[in-house]
Structure 1
Amino acid sequence: MNWEWSYIYSHPLWMFSTAILAIIVRAQRKAQWNPRACPVELKGKTAIITGANTGIGKFIALDFAHRGARVILACRSEARGTAALQEIRDSSGNQNVHLRLLDTSSLESVRKFAARILDEEKELHILVNNAGASGLPSKITADGLEITFATNHIGPFLLTSLLLDLLKKSAPARIVNVSSMNHWKGEVDFAHFRGDNLNHVMDSAYNHTKLHNVIWTNELARRLQGTGVTANSLHPGVVMTDVMRNYNFIIRFLFNLIGLFFFKTAEEGAFGPIYCAVSEETDGVSGKYFNSDCSLVLPAPLARDPALGVKEYEFCERLTA
């Protein structure tokens, strides 16, 4: 980050504005759905959570384990994944929790993961695409994709596509895609997927990918009509996780300082994905976008364009063919 942006994000006016926004976010925390009040059990069900070794993903996995599900932690790091696996097993008492390695930035890794799942699992009832990253430096992956787009969107798209038949076979089943309210600031330029015309100032690339998440989810839901498989996206809230690990010290410090008092904990951030995945209230609901308090809201106008949804889906299919 250059000095101009460092100055802006350390300026007292920016800090004050962020604090006011944080107070609003904090107030919203009190009104949200709480999984502890949801009696739904998942015995006999299989669930996959990507990015399950830390933050929101780990708490989603822990909740599913408490409900008796067979839980598959899809993690990039074997060491961190193993630590999370043991913690979840010990806390829940559920030994039917398993680790499988997955790096969503690599199409080869996604294909290997999906092939193993299809070989080992007879059913799949819940897929939570939670893994994602913000603030990644500009880089083109071995697949010729811009790394933020590969990690946050193309990887999850391919994974879901490869597991769709298993989800349909296991219906009723649910797909939950973790997006962000930042999708409102996103833009659609398909050249971005290859790293062209892409500005890497702050979280702009992240915002674009989160918009694509919602566009894709809505088109996916349309294609899944009548199959018994639903697909929804959501904003989990402004959450205290390590999502800022790729930013410089000043940004991380300010985020953590303000978040300590105002932002959601990782456990609270998991409430929305859990709501979409298990709640009786979302049974049969598909093609919707949920806010941080688990309420239905309209996504950005671009995400509601059916023609763009078709174009998005077909473009991603060609990229992953």
Structure 2
Amino acid sequence: MQLGVNHLGHFLLTHLLLDLLNKSAPSRIVVVSSKLYKYGEINFDDLNSEQSYNKSFAYSRSKLANLLFSYELAKHLEETGVTVNALTPGIVRTNHGRHINIPLLAKPLFNLASWAFFKTPLEGAQSSIYLACSPDAEGVSGKCFANCKEEELLPKAVDDSVARKLGFK
């Protein structure tokens, strides 16, 4: 379910829109990932985590899949006028973690910490807006951004053989 919601749905939607994006070029595809990709591994023998499931590792796997997909798709769309970039927004103060079990006495401390250290939704959206609209990002493709700046990825997020096997089509 996690891989489907966090990756496969976006993968399918992107493919369904590719003809329109090509006809509308120049156009941009923006993929939202997470720095938690660093803890993910693509295990082709258990891609859906049916043999071994851990929600944290499954989330990380789906975010790694996002990056591999954007990396591979950018190569396939070279010289079409369609750019593909990914981003990691950082920790954003939303209700995304509403199902995390925090002890009652720790909640006030967690809430205080989130106000002090987490990004607001507006701050978290800046890299998405930058990649979608900024003239500075025009023609840039196959990269990952954080805080509106290019971010270097771990080798596993730009592994050609895994990206190809994970699939473009």
| Match status 1:174 vs 2:28 | yes
Contact 2:49-2:58 within 8 A present in 1 as well: no
Contact 1:183-1:300 within 8 A present in 2 as well: no
1:252-295 per-residue CA deviation (whole Å, 9 max, x = no partner) reads 9364331111110011000010011111111000000112x211
Q: Distance in 1 between matches of 2:126 and 2:69?
A: 22
CA spacing shift, 1:196–1:258, aligned 2, 3 Å: same
CA spacing shift, 1:161–1:185, aligned 2, 3 Å: same
AA of the residue aligned to 1:150: G
TM-score by length of 2: 0.91
Deviation of the 1:192 alpha carbon? 3.9
| Match status 1:152 vs 2:6 | yes
Secondary structure of 1:194 counterpart:
coil
Contact 2:27-2:81 within 8 A present in 1 as well: yes
Deviation of the 1:173 alpha carbon? 0.4
CA spacing shift, 1:261–1:215, aligned 2, 3 Å: same
Correspondent of 1:243 among 96, 99, 108: 96
Correspondent of 2:164 among 283, 303, 310: 310
Correspondent of 2:152 among 298, 307, 310: 298
Q: Which has the higher contact order (CA 8 A, sep 6+)?
A: 2
Which residue number in structure 2 is paired with residue 233 of structure 1? 86
| Match status 1:268 vs 2:128 | no
Deviation of the 1:191 alpha carbon? 3.8
Which residue number in structure 1 is paired with residue 18 of structure 2? 164
RMSD (CA atoms): 1.8
1:186-219 per-residue CA deviation (whole Å, 9 max, x = no partner) reads 1111244333243315x22111110110001000
How many residues align? The count is 167
Contact 1:289-1:298 within 8 A present in 2 as well: yes
Q: Distance in 2 between matches of 1:198 and 1:157?
A: 24
| Match status 1:284 vs 2:139 | yes
> Residues 17-166 of structure 1: matches in 2 within 5 Å?
147-166=1-20
Contact 1:176-1:273 within 8 A present in 2 as well: yes
Correspondent of 2:114 among 255, 259, 273: 259
TM-score by length of 1: 0.49
Secondary structure of 2:85 counterpart:
strand
Q: Distance in 2 between matches of 1:301 and 1:276?
A: 22
1:126-169 per-residue CA deviation (whole Å, 9 max, x = no partner) reads xxxxxxxxxxxxxxxxxxxxx10000000100010011001101
Unaligned runs of 5+ in 2: none
Correspondent of 1:189 among 29, 35, 43: 43
Q: Distance in 1 between matches of 2:166 and 2:63?
A: 13
Q: Distance in 1 between matches of 2:53 and 2:120?
A: 30
Q: Distance in 2 between matches of 1:305 and 1:184?
A: 13
Moved over 6 A (4+): none
Unaligned runs of 5+ in 1: 1-146
| Match status 1:218 vs 2:37 | no
**What is the aligned-residue identity percentage?**
44
AA of the residue aligned to 1:300: L
Q: Distance in 2 between matches of 1:195 and 1:189?
A: 9
AA of the residue aligned to 2:116: F
CA spacing shift, 1:180–1:255, aligned 2, 3 Å: farther
